[in-house]
Amino acid sequence: MTFAGISRSLLNYRKLIYILLGLVFVLFGLLDAWGLSSKYLLSTMIFIAINAIVALGLGLLGGVAGQISFGTSAFYAIGAYTSGILSTQYNLSPWLTMAFSAFLAGVVAYIIGRQVLHLHGFVLGVITLAFSWILWRLTGQLTITGGYDGISHIPRFAIGSFVFTDDIHYYFLVLGILAILQIIALNLEKSRIGRDFRAMNIYHGGSEVAAMTLGIRLGSTKNLLFVLCAVYAAIGGSLYAHYVSYLSPEPFNIHYNFILYLMVVLGGIRSVWGPMIGASVYWGLKEGITYGMPEGVATAGISAATEIIIFAVLFIGIITFLPQGLVSVPSLLKERHRRKTALRHERALG
Amino acid sequence: MLTGLLQQSVISGLTTGCVYAIVGICVVLIFKSARFPDFAQGTWIVLGGMLGASFFARGLPLWLSMILAVLSTALLGAACWIVFLHGPMKRGMSGLHLCMITVGLAMGIAAVLQMTIGTRSMSLPPFAKIEPIHLSKVTISPQAPWLWLTLLLTMFGLVFLFNHTYWGKQIRACHQRHLGAILIGLNPSRIAIFIYAFAAGLAGILGVAMAGMIPVVYHRGTSLILMGFIVYLVGGATSLPGAVIAGLAIGLIESLTAAFISTNYMDIVPLSITIVFLLFRPTGLFGESEPGEK
């Protein structure tokens, strides 16, 4: 088998490539188990997995179904703070608090969604942005969230007497939850509901009116999506709270929504695999930039600014030149290969 | 006592309302020409203010640094539009993607500002060297009348532009029917460049006028653009008078909240009120239809 043949057959199995990527995720964890990599790398991997969970929800809502929402950071905050408050003040088990925070975020999303989702396009985007802003400011004001001092000493997950104190164990926990949520999202996207999502994506050939005439219940489908996105974000937030064990309002800034969109767009806005790939590439680049910064030259502010500039350029570049994200690269290459061989055949014939 | 506080907060509310109204006008202008809300407008305001302040700090006279700041903001705006948005727009990219490009633009410009000019907050002296004005119970900051004047001039300027000049009529034609405008020989994508430069220049003027009263920091753009978007939606997406009324109203609500409830909630209360308003009336005050594709 020639190299071209192998690469072609690999291109035919896009799934395989994705699974390999997933394996890389696991592999990094294993590497650490053998003591080959640093604690720093492992914590980055945990953040990748947590962000992949949050971005996955946004990918379904914003990417597959084309509903602009900047409310994800609010649900992320709800998840994190509910977990934090319940486990520090009421000594509940983190499993319970995670379930409860997901439930609470779902209920809030359902109530808000009922009101908001008859809107579409930019009105929805701006209203959810305002919602995120309000919630972010409230976390800094209220006494129950600890104000700007935040909440500290949030416990880790535990099964019986086994506590996930080691990062490596926590990594596998997060990875397991990510895998479950990813499988749910994949099946959902392949099912009838997923086709409904795509039918109402106004930014990709769909139409809300046309979807309605096909018998899709627009309201309940949108609401389901909104709740799903909120639950994913809350699970991510809960995992975050129990990992870093300290919460302050800063990470729940509305800028987090833009970062999430960056991840989703980077990976591929219409693909369910996109958020995972996007989160990995984003964090990989981020750590790479911080690591590659010459020492002494950069103060913390300058390095953060450089990072943002690089990501802004990348973001604009991806949207402009690769609107379907990194996921679409194999199929683009395949298409190019096909066109090339067709040209060669044509030349050979005449 | 209470009436004094009320009068004072109405005055300061009208002043911040002017700021929000002009941000809203900028967003509406871009939406009229390009049909997507522009995240970068907040950053142009901050850019104008910071450029003006740093020119002034270098020793240029106040009027020259102001003019230079406004001109360079307009030019930079046009350059950014040509480099980042002209091509995608011509290729007919969806509003969502264009909006996302401006998100990237806003983040990038704020970071460039942070890197080059710095993280400290900057301000300009008031335009005229006068003492704060004391009326019976109210104190008016010397810069506030200039902000009111800016809004008034902007309003009259825009009315004149849209109703009495050839340029304005071209812009209106492009807004009404994109294809129709091309058919009668207009070039919508070129007109969009000019509108963007115009809006960025307007944002620059606002930035300079604002820096005389409120210090500007590189990250101030986000909260400004949030208010700008709210104003743009409440006003009705394409309506300039709507934007002015909505801006003033939100400014008033904000300062009344600060005076009578708590300064901690001064942005939470107006945002909540506008969310409820938009839920019941998504087309805004004067809008014909909801913004965004169906």
At which residue do the structure tokens 């909006």 appear? B99
Predicted local distance difference test score (pLDDT) of residue B275:
87
Residues of A in contact with B112 (CB under 8 A): 305, 309
Give how far A300 is from chain B: nearest CA, Å.
11
Q: Which candidate in B105, B275, B285 is best for mutational testing of the A interface (most A CBs within 10 A)? A: B275
For range A42-47, the mean pLDDT: 85
A66, A131, A301 ranked by CB distance to B114: nearest: A301
Q: Check pLDDT > 80 for residue A343.
A: yes
On chain A, the residues whose CB falls within 8 A of the CB of B278 are 119, 123, 126-127
Question: In sequence order, what DSSP letters do the residues of A223-241 get, joined into one string?
Answer: HHHHHHHHHHHHHHHHHHH
What is the average per-residue pLDDT within A28-44? 70
φ, ψ of residue A35 in degrees (nearest 5)? 75, 20
Q: Closest Cα to residue A262, out of A128, A63, A65?
A: A63
Task: Using DSSP, state whether B15 is helix, strand or coil.
Answer: helix
Quick one: which H or E segment has residue B171? helix B166-176
Match 């499988």 to its residue by tokens.
Answer: A183
Mean pLDDT of A37-42: 72
* Number of Cβ atoms within 10 Å of the Cβ of B286: 17
Cβ-contact A226, A118 below 8 angstroms: no
Q: Which pLDDT tens digits describe chain B residue by residue (294 residues)?
A: 677 888 888 888 999 999 999 999 999 888 888 888 889 999 999 999 999 999 998 888 888 999 999 999 999 999 999 999 988 888 878 888 888 899 999 999 999 988 888 778 888 887 776 777 777 777 788 788 888 888 999 999 998 988 899 888 888 888 778 788 889 888 888 888 999 999 999 999 999 988 888 888 888 888 899 999 999 888 887 888 889 999 999 999 999 998 888 888 888 999 999 988 888 887 888 876 655 443
* Best of B28, B81, B82, B96 to mutate (most A CBs within 10 Å, chain A): B96
Nearest residue in A to B227, CA atom:
A130
- The yes/no answer to whether this complex scores an ipTM above 0.90 is no
Reduced DSSP (H G I as helix, E B as strand, rest coil) percent helix, strand, coil of chain B, to 5: 75, 0, 25
Contacts of A141 in chain B (CB under 8 A): 264-265, 268
Per-residue pLDDT at A41: 77
Q: Give A174-186 pLDDT, tens digit per residue.
A: 888 888 888 888 8
Q: What is the CA B251 to chain-centroid distance, rounded?
A: 13
Look over chain A and give the mean of its residue pLDDT values, rounded to a whole number: 84
Binary contact (A308, B88; C-beta < 8 A): no
| 3 state SS of B266 | coil
Distances in Å between the alpha carbon of B173 and those of B6, B87, B149, B156, B293?
Answer: 44, 21, 29, 20, 19
Residue A262: list chain B partners with CB under 8 A. 104
Chain A residues with CB under 8 Å of B222 CB are 254-255
Query: Residue A67 corresponds to which amino acid?
Result: Q
The residue of A68, A112, A127 whose CB has the most chain B CBs within 10 angstroms, and thus the best one to mutate to test that interface, is A127
- The region of weakest confidence among A33-42, A85-94, A292-301, B235-244 is A292-301
Alpha-carbon distance of B120 to B215, in angstroms, equals: 9
Chain B residues whose CB is inside 8 A of the A118 CB are: 282
Test B279 with A134 for CB contact under 8 angstroms. Answer: no
Beta strands B133-134 and B139-140, pairing class: antiparallel
Q: How many angstroms away from the CA of A132 is the closest CA of chain B?
A: 11
- Binned at pLDDT 50, 70 and 90, residue A36 comes out as low
B291 contacts A122? CB cut-off 8 A: yes
Output the six-digit token pair for A299.
Answer: 């103060």
Give me the residue from B84, B94, B264 closest to A316, CB to CB. B84
Chain B CB contacts of A261 below 8 Å: 100, 103
Q: Give the tens place of pLDDT for each residue, A226-264.
A: 999 999 999 999 999 999 988 888 889 888 999 999 899
- The predicted-structure confidence for B144-193, as pLDDT tens digits, reads as follows 888 888 899 999 999 898 889 988 888 888 877 878 888 988 888 888 89
How far A203 CA sits from the closest chain B CA (Å)? 6
Q: Which residues of B touch A133 (CB under 8 A)?
A: 223, 226, 267, 271
Query: Closest approach of chain A CAs to the CA of B25, in angstroms?
Result: 16
Q: How far is CA B135 from the centre of its chain?
A: 29
Minimal Cα distance from B284: which residue of A?
Answer: A123
- State both tokens at A258: 């833009």
Measured between CB atoms, which of A119, A126, A207 is closest to B229? A126
A306-335 residues labelled b (16+ CB within 10 A) or e (exposed): bbbbbbbebbbebbbebbbbbbbebeeebe
pLDDT of residue A1: 47
B97 with A203: Cβ contact below 8 A: yes
Going A263 to A267 to A273 to A279, the CA torsion angle's sign is negative
**Spatial separation of the C-alpha atoms in residues A180 and A192, rounded to whole Å:** 20
DSSP letter, residue B117: T
CB atoms B104 and A309 under 8 Å: no
Q: Collect all residues of chain A within an 8 Å Cβ-Cβ radius of residue B101.
A: 315-316, 319-320
Q: Report CB contact under 8 Å: A202, B293.
A: yes
Note the pLDDT of residue B294.
39
DSSP assigned state of A246: E
Chain B residues with CB inside 8 Å of A320's CB? Answer: 84, 87-88, 101
pLDDT of residue A130: 92
Asked if residue A51 lies in contact with residue A237, where contact means CB atoms within 8 angstroms, the answer is no
Task: Enter the tokens of residue A228.
Answer: 């799903």
Residues of B in contact with A311 (CB under 8 A): 104, 107
Q: Could you tell me which of A343, A239, A275 has the C-alpha nearest to residue A59?
A: A275
Q: How far is A79 from chain B (nearest CA, A)?
A: 21
Å between A308 CA and nearest CA of chain B? 6
pLDDT of residue A126 exceeding 80, the answer is yes
d(CA B238, CA B203): 18
Rounded to whole angstroms, how far apart are CA atoms B283 and B281? Answer: 5
Phi and psi of A336, rounded to 5°? Answer: -65, -45
How many Cβ pairs within 8 Å bridge chains A and B? 135
* Secondary structure (DSSP) of B157-194: HHHHHHHHSHHHHHHHHHHH-HHHHHHTT--HHHHHHH
Cross-chain Cβ contact B294/A209 below 8 Å: yes
Report the alpha-carbon distance of residue A46 to residue A31 in Å, rounded.
Answer: 14
CATH assignment of A3-349, among 1.10.287, 2.60.40, 3.30.70, 1.10.3470: 1.10.3470
CB contact under 8 A, B282 and A306: no
Residues in Cβ contact with B287 at an 8 Å cutoff, skipping those fewer than 6 apart: B235, B236, B237, B238, B239, B242
B250: distance to nearest CA of chain A, Å?
14
Q: Given this model, what pLDDT does residue B238 score?
A: 80
Using only C-alpha atoms, chain A has a radius of gyration, in whole angstroms, of: 21
Cβ–Cβ under 8 Å, residues B237 and B25: no
CB contact under 8 A, A207 and B294: yes
Answer for the pair B74, B197: CB distance below 8 angstroms, yes or no: yes
d(CA B177, CA B58) in angstroms, rounded, equals 47
Mutate which: B103, B238, B261, vs A, most A CBs within 10 A = B103
